[in-house]
């Protein structure tokens, strides 16, 4: 596997193996230091908060995309969501990639073998009337053992 392919697999694993899920901000943010969390206020408005921190009962950070400071008391928060590992997606991705690699390997291993067959140690082309081996017989000679 080349470096480019390895990098692509790494990116796929990083993207496919996470899900955005609700978290407890007071515990999750200090332990995992996420780049961004998504906050839904009690009035159902929504804000992405970059570089979140927790100070007492308040979530602080920067409004992602606007670079404006954000300070949100926990009592105004309905839910906080963050990217978290997803084992089911990881298993599915590993299975799909494994089957794909196996399929490509099988196809490469059997490529070029579809048009020939072996008969008595001789190669012949499928679909011809004579599937026996007549190699080594000069034009005009006849070898009755192979019906040449």
Tell me the CATH number at 52.
2.30.30
CB 129 within 8 A of CB 121: no
The total domain count for the chain is: 1
pTM over 0.85: no
Q: Which domain holds residue 72?
A: 15-85
Contact 17, 85 (CB under 8 A): yes
Tell me if 115 is assigned to some domain.
no
Residue among 123, 144, 125, 143 nearest 133 (CA): 123
Q: Residue 40 falls within a domain, yes or no?
A: yes
Instruction: Decide: 17 and 83 in contact? Cβ < 8 Å.
Output: no
Asked, for residue 51, whether it belongs to a domain, the answer is yes
Residue 132 has pLDDT above 80, yes or no: no
Residue 131 in any domain: the answer is no
Q: Is residue 31 part of a domain?
A: yes
If we measure between CA atoms, which residue out of 7, 3, 57, 1 comes closest to residue 29?
57
From CA 35, how far away is CA 52, in angstroms rounded? Answer: 7
Tell me whether residue 35 is in a domain: yes
How confident is the model over 18-58, as pLDDT tens digits? 778 899 999 999 999 999 999 999 999 999 999 999 999 99
Higher pLDDT residue, 24 or 12?
24
């Amino acid at each position: 596997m080349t470096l480019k392919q390895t990098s692509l697999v790494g990116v796929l694993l990083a993207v496919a193996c996470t899900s955005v899920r609700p978290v407890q901000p007071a515990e999750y943010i200090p332990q995992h230091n996420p780049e961004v969390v998504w906050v839904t206020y009690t009035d159902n408005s929504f804000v992405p908060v970059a570089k979140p921190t927790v100070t007492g009962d308040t979530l602080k950070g920067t409004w992602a995309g606007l670079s404006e400071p954000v300070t949100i008391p926990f009592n105004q928060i309905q839910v906080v969501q963050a990217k978290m590992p997803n084992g089911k997606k990881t298993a599915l991705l590993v299975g799909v990639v494994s089957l794909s690699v196996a399929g490509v390997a099988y196809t490469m291993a059997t490529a070029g073998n579809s048009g020939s067959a072996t008969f008595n140690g001789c190669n012949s082309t499928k679909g011809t009337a004579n599937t026996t081996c007549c190699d080594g017989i000069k034009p005009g000679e006849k070898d009755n053992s192979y019906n040449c």
